[in-house]
């Protein structure tokens, strides 16, 4: 129920006129408030459209490279190094993305990924060779087994073949290595970093030389899914994508580095 207070010192016309003026003031305030609400809605809508457009432009500005479907990193010396995620990608890398001048890395352990240094006809230095060996060892079963290193060797592409010895069968992703193998020192340990908004992963020295910020990923007790959540808080990114960057086993995250 609406209550109306009348002044006995005023006539009925004066009381009515007073309430009419008050009503006009209230109406103007309501109209002003509604105008502000509509203006705010319009600005928020424009900002939302602008933000969506910006996100689309960012997404379109960086086209994914062909090698991003594999494990990959750029060595400290600038060489592209690619590696298999599983038996299928091992096959694809060796059959479609390995040139005669490249170098192929593998371990003595079953289930190890193949890594390939794309040399472009040049001779990689010791640091690139060691980084390729570290990646091969770290993404192998050696990580989950808790080994501090693995027996990693490299060969020329012509030494790698799908032709099995008599009476043997090669499973998908497996290859025979013929001729001399060259073993190279290595250690187990990786890093994940951020470079120009893109997550990168690989041997610590390689990531350190290219990332704006990075975190060392070592053998430990933390599940990859839990580690991925912590890395997401540091660098952003997609959880599933981060898990794909991590090694096959429990990890320990060190203090982030700049």
Task: Express each pLDDT in 11-66 by its tens digit.
Answer: 766 656 665 667 666 677 777 667 776 777 777 766 665 555 544 444 445 688 99
Closest CA to 206 of 112, 92, 125: 125
Domain range for 108: 70-184
pLDDT given at position 110: 83
pLDDT given at position 59: 44
pLDDT given at position 47: 64
Residue at 179 is within a domain: yes
Residue at 85 is within a domain: yes
**What secondary structure, in 3-state letters, does 35-69 show?**
HHHHHHHHHHHHHHHHHHHHHHHHHHHCCCCHHHH
> Of 46-60, 168-182, 194-208, which has the strongest mean pLDDT?
194-208
Query: CB–CB of 214/192 below 8 Å?
Result: yes
Of 128, 149, 184, the residue at which a domain comes to its end is 184
- Asked if pLDDT for residue 162 goes beyond 60, the answer is yes
- Surface-to-core class of residue 158, CB atoms within 10 Å of its CB (0-12 exposed, 13-18 middle, 19+ buried): exposed
Higher pLDDT, residue 160 or 43: 160
Mean pLDDT of the chain: 86
DSSP state of 6: -
Do residues 176 and 199 share a domain?
no
Q: Assign 147 to helix, strand or coil.
A: coil
pLDDT given at position 56: 46
**pLDDT tens, residue by residue, 209-224:** 999 999 999 999 999 9
pLDDT given at position 2: 52
Residue at 202 is within a domain: yes
Give me the residue label for tokens 């479609």. Answer: 96
Q: Which helix (H) or strand (E) holds 230?
A: helix 224-235
Task: Give me 131's structure tokens.
Answer: 């980084």
Residue at 131 is within a domain: yes
pLDDT given at position 174: 77
Residue at 140 is within a domain: yes
pLDDT given at position 20: 65
Q: What is the mean pLDDT of residues 117-121?
A: 97
Of 166, 184, 202, the residue at which a domain comes to its end is 184
Of 123, 158, 184, the residue at which a domain comes to its end is 184
**Least confident interval from 69-73, 163-167, 242-246:** 163-167
Task: Give me 2's structure tokens.
Answer: 């609406």
Query: CB–CB of 162/169 below 8 Å?
Result: no
Query: CB–CB of 177/160 below 8 Å?
Result: yes
- Asked if pLDDT for residue 82 goes beyond 90, the answer is yes
pLDDT given at position 166: 66
Residue at 129 is within a domain: yes
State how many domains the chain has: 3
pLDDT given at position 49: 58
Residue at 244 is within a domain: yes
- Listed in sequence order, the residues at least 6 apart from 58 whose beta carbon sits closer than 8 Å to its beta carbon are 197
- Asked if pLDDT for residue 184 goes beyond 50, the answer is yes
Do residues 234 and 160 share a domain?
no
CA atoms within 13 A on the CB side of 228: 16
Do residues 135 and 29 share a domain?
no
Do residues 102 and 170 share a domain?
yes
Phi, psi values for residue 218, rounded to 5°: -120, 175
pLDDT given at position 176: 85
Do residues 28 and 77 share a domain?
no
pLDDT given at position 62: 63
pLDDT given at position 39: 72
**pLDDT tens, residue by residue, 86-118:** 999 999 999 999 999 999 999 998 878 999 999
pLDDT given at position 52: 52
User: Which residues are 115's β-sheet partners?
Assistant: 83, 105
The whole-angstrom separation of Cα 197 and Cα 236 is 9
């Amino acid at each position: 129920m609406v209550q109306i207070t009348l002044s006995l010192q005023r006539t009925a016309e004066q009381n009515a006129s007073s309430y009419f003026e008050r009503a006009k003031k209230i109406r103007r305030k309501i109209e002003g408030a509604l105008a502000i609400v509509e203006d705010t809605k319009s600005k928020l809508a424009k900002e939302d459209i602008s933000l969506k457009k910006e996100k689309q432009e960012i997404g379109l500005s960086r086209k994914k490279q062909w090698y991003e479907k594999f494990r990959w990193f750029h060595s400290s010396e600038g060489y592209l190094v690619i590696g298999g995620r599983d038996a299928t990608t091992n096959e694809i890398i060796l059959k479609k993305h390995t040139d005669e001048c490249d170098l192929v890395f593998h371990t003595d352990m079953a289930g190890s990924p193949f890594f390939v240094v794309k040399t472009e006809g040049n001779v990689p230095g010791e640091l690139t060779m060691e980084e390729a060996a570290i990646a091969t060892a770290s993404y192998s079963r050696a990580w989950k087994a808790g080994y501090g290193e693995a027996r990693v060797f490299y060969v020329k592409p012509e030494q790698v073949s799908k032709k099995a010895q008599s009476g043997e069968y090669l499973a998908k992703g497996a290859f025979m290595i013929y001729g001399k193998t060259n073993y190279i020192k290595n250690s187990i340990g990786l890093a994940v970093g951020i470079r120009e908004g893109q997550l990168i992963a690989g041997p610590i020295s390689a990531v350190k030389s290219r990332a704006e910020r990075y975190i060392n990923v070592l053998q430990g007790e933390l599940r990859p899914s839990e580690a991925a959540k912590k890395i997401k808080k540091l660098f952003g990114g997609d959880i599933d994508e981060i898990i794909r960057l991590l090694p096959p086993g429990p990890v320990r995250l060190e203090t982030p580095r700049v």
